[in-house]
A and B are shown apart, each in its own frame.
Chain A
Amino acid sequence: MSNVPNELRYTKSHEWVRTEADGSVTVGITDHAQELLGDMVFIELPEIEANYTAGDECAVVESVKAASDVYSPISGEVIAINEDLTETPETINQDPFDTGWMFKMQPEDAGEVDELMDAEAYAEFIADEEH
């Protein structure tokens, strides 16, 4: 059973979102997603200052099985990226919700995060997906 932390929000494309104290949001891919993808071998991160609309492709995670897009969960500007992933992409497998974060965004509309799934809804969503 995948780990689905309570305090985060989730997308149907398996990104997680955490709202920070300063109003920015941190984004990564879920434990469920990393389990499905398998061993990560390369992460292509977005560029700082890039602007995305919710649903835009903004990064790529590449595992031994496939390369998969990561979508921007909200609209806003990229303000930080986790450059450590370039050297150690396997961090996403080991710790998807903490040191395996991918990028931080400044949301255009903070309300957008609230529209994403909460932990309960996401847990249900992946349970359904598996059936």
Chain B
Amino acid sequence: MPFIPHTDDDTREMLATIGADSIEDLFDEIPSGLRATSLDRIPAGRNEMAVNRLLQECAAKDTQPLSFLGAGAYEHHIPAAVWQLTTRGEFYTAYTPYQAEASQGTLQLLYEFQTMMAELTAMDVSNASLYDGASALAEAVLMAVRANRKSKSKRILMPATVHPTYRSVVNTIVRHQGIKLELVDYDRQGGHIDPASLPAEPGDITALVIPQPNFFGSLEDADALTDWAQQHGALVIAVVNPTAMALIKPPGEWGNGEGADIVCGEGQPLGAPLASGGPYFGFMCCAQQHVRQMPGRIIGRTTDLEGKSGYVLTLQAREQHIRRSKATSNICTNQGLLTTAATIYLALVGQQGLQQTAAHSHANTRKLAEALGAIAGVELIFNRPYFHEAVLRLPKPAAEVLVELDRLGILGGFDLAADYPELGNALLVCATETKTDADIEQFAAALRKVLG
């Protein structure tokens, strides 16, 4: 069978059938000004050997910098077994693995994933993943508007300590749906939302978003914020780092008992490698009373007539094939392969392993902050406890420093100047369990050199 599906004869035959004289006739609807005639920047074709050589030359330019960059994507050790198993053909090739008779393995895996995510966040239920962390937050906002039937305002309080990209994605997805996102400012000393700064009489609020840890790495006063939200009839949407959940109080236990209503976040730290920005996956959990408003799919376990366990797609109340044109899930793309990796990762490292990963990440970030903070002109900006990221103030613009560090083989962090200009020359740095004392000293030495 030829790889090219139509010969010149086929083309002529097809054109004749639809009554067109030439391929150009097919395009005559498109104004000529919009047609790209020549693509100057695309080089001419090359043969296989030349392409191979070009790619090798490009690959040689890639280096493996020592990364202290977090800002939403985290380098963690991934046991080799995770992707060895995830890329088995049975998982790798399945596209819509929901036909129960054909895919008990995948359904069981998603069931295990949901169970582990619900346990990690201390919530009642989890779906089987979403597109990514940012769109999961957008879905959580839409879900909160549906779930909080007492609230009519569609006002969502969105702290400035939520990842700026997440805020931007949420704004894009919800702004034309009558939802008002109100920015909540942060405390300049702590880099957190000061619960005392929240209004005593805020009026009708649909939901409050609480990031934990927040974009600066600082820990929010989640209990007080949750209590405040619940006192004012607002739902609580938690945006959390899943690794941190092994160490700090999970959203299901926030506040005086009831906990958060919806929990979402980016699942990448659980076994997905850093790969030029993707693919990632979002996760979402919620309290039982909101389950019918949750986008995505929930897999359940049942027993068949012979008493054997079976796994089935149990609930997908917001999805297109149930709701048709009234579907309310916007981006619920189930990132099946990445949740497979996350499930295997969590199963392999276990509760203790995840705690160790989190604890080592935290300890290394403390060492990093100490080592860098000791350099003349460098200071830690915020005085709050942090998880595995912290914000440093530099004596000169972070962008310049990062370029110099890059020359020394170090990815030095995230420049906060564009998103938080009020912080001055601020740099967000991160150390996970993958960094050694020697790595941290290498970064400190490089920074001394650059600033010296």
Contact = CB atoms under 8 A, between A and B. Distances in A.
Interface of A: 42, 44, 47, 62, 66-67, 69
B149 A66 contact: no
A67 B322 contact: yes
Nearest to A69: B326
A67 B320 CA distance: 10
Nearest to B318: A67
B323 interface: yes
12 contacts: A42-B292, A42-B317, A44-B292, A47-B149, A62-B317, A66-B322, A66-B323, A67-B317, A67-B323, A67-B324, A67-B326, A69-B326
Nearest to B322: A67
A67 B315 CA distance: 12
Nearest to B323: A67
B27 to A, nearest CB: 41
Contacts, number: 15
A46 to B, nearest CB: 10
Interface string B307-326: 00000000001000011101
A42 B317 CA distance: 9
B326 A62 contact: no
A44 B292 CA distance: 10
A27 to B, nearest CB: 19
Interface of B is mostly: helix
Given A62-B317, A66-B323, A67-B317, 10 more contacts: A42-B292, A42-B317, A44-B292, A47-B149, A62-B322, A66-B324, A67-B323, A67-B324, A67-B326, A69-B326
Contacts of B149: 47
Nearest to A65: B322
Interface residues of B, number: 7
Contacts of A42: 292, 317
Interface string B345-382: 00000000000000000000000000000000000000
Interface of B: 149, 292, 317, 322-324, 326
Nearest to A57: B326
A44 B146 CA distance: 12
Contacts of B324: 66-67
B100 to A, nearest CB: 14
Nearest to A64: B322
A67 B324 CA distance: 8
Contacts of B322: 62, 66-67
Contacts of A67: 317, 322-324, 326
A116 B97 CA distance: 47
Nearest to A47: B149
Contacts of B326: 67, 69
A66 B324 CA distance: 8
Nearest to A63: B322
Contacts of B292: 42, 44
A15 to B, nearest CB: 18
Contacts of B323: 66-67
Closest 8 CB pairs between A and B?
Answer: A67-B323, A67-B322, A42-B292, A66-B322, A47-B149, A67-B326, A62-B317, A42-B317
A47 B326 CA distance: 19
B315 to A, nearest CB: 9
A20 B358 CA distance: 64
A96 B89 CA distance: 50
B323 to A, nearest CB: 5
A16 B317 CA distance: 26
A81 B313 CA distance: 31
Contacts of A66: 322-324
A62 B292 CA distance: 11
Nearest to B324: A66
A69 B323 CA distance: 10
Which of A42, A44, A66, A67 has the most CB atoms of chain B within a 10 A radius of its CB? A67
A47 B149 CA distance: 8
A66 B322 CA distance: 5
Contacts of A69: 326
Contacts of B317: 42, 62, 67
A124 B324 CA distance: 29
